[in-house]
Structure 1
Amino acid sequence: MRRRILTPSVSETKLENRGFHVKDRESRELLETIGEVFLAGYAHAVEARTPAEAEERLEQVPRRFRGFAYEGAGMGFGVLDGLPFGGSRNVEDFLRGRGDDHLYMVYVGIGWAMARLPRFRWPDSEGLDPLLKWLVHDGYGFHQAYFRTRQYVHRHYREPRFPWPAHDPSSYSDRAIDQGIGRALWFVGGTDVDRVVSLLEGFPEPRWADLWSGVGLAATYAGGAPEEELVKLRERAGRHRPRLAQGSVFAAEARVRAGLLVPHNEVATQVLCGTTPEQAARISRETRPDAEGEGGLPAYEVWRQRIADQFVSLGGVTP
């Protein structure tokens, strides 16, 4: 019953229904499969009696798509935590098990849940990792761009002052949301590099760096573009290539941590970062700061800057 009440319709994942660009049959099937698997993961969460029960089904998802299933489960458990009858520790319990291997995806899923919950039911940010909580905003931004595309992508809407976390003085929320919007551009543009870049460059230029980061993450994690198209993407990024690489590094780290590397991850990190996924993930781990920020920036942005700077200094990417 909970699955029937809470799970969105799979028709919402069809590119034609969303009005997204279709590059070719293969890319359409990939993106629609990702959407279907995400919803399946969401359904596994909301209908399970315990997170462990959901994990058994999530682990049956093919390697290429399993991370999206865990992302969907993160949304599902986040929604349950936000409902009066759903309990309040589902996400916490999920992250004590196999969900921890997919920590980044689960945090993104919490952002999806927030987009579907009334604000007074949003989670307390104090209960989340102070460094990774910005991935929640990333998930929220992806959801809004995916489901409210006209407003957030074509009209470039930006939240006037995002109310979560309430105590955050840095106003970094908008930037983290833009990183999620950038990820969504890869889907809205149907993995077509020219279409994705055209959509991105329609935004005000101060937002481009964060959008490029999101594109790099999606192109690496989700795939959908062969090597020659990724080369074009790298060239089109211009001075934002370090941010494109930074997003690719985050994707590599998420894949490596979960043990979900597949061939297209290898190709993407080689083109966008000039290295292997394992080395990209190592860069992510070695540059990770503690929870304290620097110069008025949250630690998460310090982390992203350190990664981008690695590629400038190593010569793998030029600004």
Structure 2
Amino acid sequence: MTLSLSRLRRAVMGVSDAEATAFSRGDTPTWKHLETVVRTAVGGYHAVLDGSRFDDLVPRLDRIPLEFRGYAYEGAAMGLTGLDCFLPGASRLQAYMDGPGNPHIYMVHIGAGEALARLRRKPDPFMRRLTDPALRWLVMDGYGFHEGFFKQRRFVERQQVPVHLSPFARRVFDQGVGRSIWFTSGADVDRIASAIAAFPAHRHADLWLGIGVACGYVGGVGRPTVEALRVAAGRHASRMAVGTAFVAKGRLRAGNLIPDTELACEVLCGVCAQDAARLVDRAFEDLPDTRSAPAYDTLQRRLETSLAVTPSTKGDTA
């Protein structure tokens, strides 16, 4: 790609470093870790804007250290989805899903949702084109994350929800918003609990599930913080465990399991990451998919039952 075209794409679709790191409030190891995660995802996104041919793109993504590589693949999915929205032809994202992005398929769906939010595209028509009845809902997670992260005042502080979303889509949107709170709160338990407590009670369970996703995949904290998080979640600790187990499967599938994921599984799920992933595999078996019971909802309910986490009597009781 010519340098001028790359610059044009970045000018129209890019994310500045100032925008990407505006959430950060300090220079502690945790804040620096979270900044690295965001910068890596944005880097993968910009890599596509600079050149989307897989033979050039994939080696650039694979130069990222293994711990952070999933974020680069997530960002690349965001970029490919953005190009698909603007340029005609065969779906770049689908080719990515079928090819180099497949080991990171969970992150790829999330990145697609982030692109739709950034480009202000409604996610429902896009999701209907995706084939996996459970994983396609991760598009809504990415959509919610983007809105919670980049539009914190509207979607976290004011607790707004996009009016065009279906009832179940709103729940998965909240999962993404919860994940964004992990970042904007600096993974601080008190800030997380306070932010979630400000939402209506019926939204707490899915917000805590998103915290479980972030704690398990992103990490950046030690055992005392994860243990305090379990207490703060109260009766929603089992929902948090569902999110953590799910991302343990995602990291194992991609071959980038990290100690933080093992720690989160041990504390939040009561099992090791390998066992959590096996429970996810079982939950995926013969998933029904109906209007009244979306496959992703059934998957989560099965996981919650199989994990059988005892809720804390303290913390969130709403």
Q: TM-score, normalised by structure 2?
A: 0.90
1:13-69 deviations in Å (ceiling 9; x for gaps): 22xx33x554x6101111111111011111122222413421111111001111111
Q: In 2, distance between residues paired with 1:126 and 1:142? A: 20
* Aligned residues between the structures: 304
Deviation, structure 1 residue 171: 2.7
Deviation, structure 1 residue 8: 1.1
Q: In 1, distance between residues paired with 2:36 and 2:67? A: 11
Note if 1:231 corresponds to 2:227: yes
Note if 1:66 corresponds to 2:66: no
Q: 1:118 to 1:181 in 2, by over 3 A?
A: closer
Note if 1:30 corresponds to 2:33: yes
Q: 1:232 to 1:127 in 2, by over 3 A?
A: same
SS of corresponding position for 2:101 = helix
CA contact (8 A) 2:10 2:49 kept: no
1:220 aligned residue: 216
Choose the corresponding residue for 1:179, options 175, 178, 186: 175
Note if 1:208 corresponds to 2:204: yes
1:142 aligned residue: 145
1:61-108 deviations in Å (ceiling 9; x for gaps): 0011111111101100000000136x4411011112220000010000
Q: In 2, distance between residues paired with 1:215 and 1:274? A: 17
Q: In 2, distance between residues paired with 1:279 and 1:49? A: 37
Deviation, structure 1 residue 193: 0.9
Note if 1:80 corresponds to 2:86: no
Quick one: percent identity of the two aligned structures?
38
2:282 aligned residue: 286
CA contact (8 A) 2:287 2:299 kept: no
CA contact (8 A) 1:220 1:251 kept: yes
Choose the corresponding residue for 1:269, options 259, 265, 278: 265
1:158 is aligned with what amino acid?
A: V
1:167 aligned residue: none
Structure 1's unaligned 5+ residue stretches are 163-169
Q: In 2, distance between residues paired with 1:145 and 1:255? A: 24
CA contact (8 A) 1:311 1:317 kept: no
1:317 aligned residue: 310
Q: Bigger CA drift: 257-266 or 295-304?
A: 295-304
1:104 is aligned with what amino acid?
A: Y
2:256 aligned residue: 260
Q: In 2, distance between residues paired with 1:122 and 1:54? A: 28
Note if 1:124 corresponds to 2:126: yes
1:12 aligned residue: 19
1:239-297 deviations in Å (ceiling 9; x for gaps): 11110100101110110010001111111111111111111111111111445336822
CA contact (8 A) 1:83 1:121 kept: no
Q: In 2, distance between residues paired with 1:293 and 1:318? A: 29
Q: 1:283 to 1:291 in 2, by over 3 A?
A: closer
SS of corresponding position for 2:98 = coil
Q: In 1, distance between residues paired with 2:288 and 2:260? A: 35
Note if 1:55 corresponds to 2:58: yes
Deviation, structure 1 residue 186: 0.3
Q: 1:318 to 1:310 in 2, by over 3 A?
A: farther
1:106 aligned residue: 108
Q: In 1, distance between residues paired with 2:106 and 2:68? A: 15
1:165 aligned residue: none
Q: 1:260 to 1:152 in 2, by over 3 A?
A: same
Deviation, structure 1 residue 124: 3.3
CA contact (8 A) 2:213 2:247 kept: yes
CA contact (8 A) 1:290 1:299 kept: no
2:28 is aligned with what amino acid?
A: R
Q: TM-score, normalised by structure 1?
A: 0.90
Q: How does 1:149-168 map to 2 (within 5 A)?
A: 149-162=152-165
SS of corresponding position for 2:192 = helix
Q: In 1, distance between residues paired with 2:74 and 2:55? A: 15
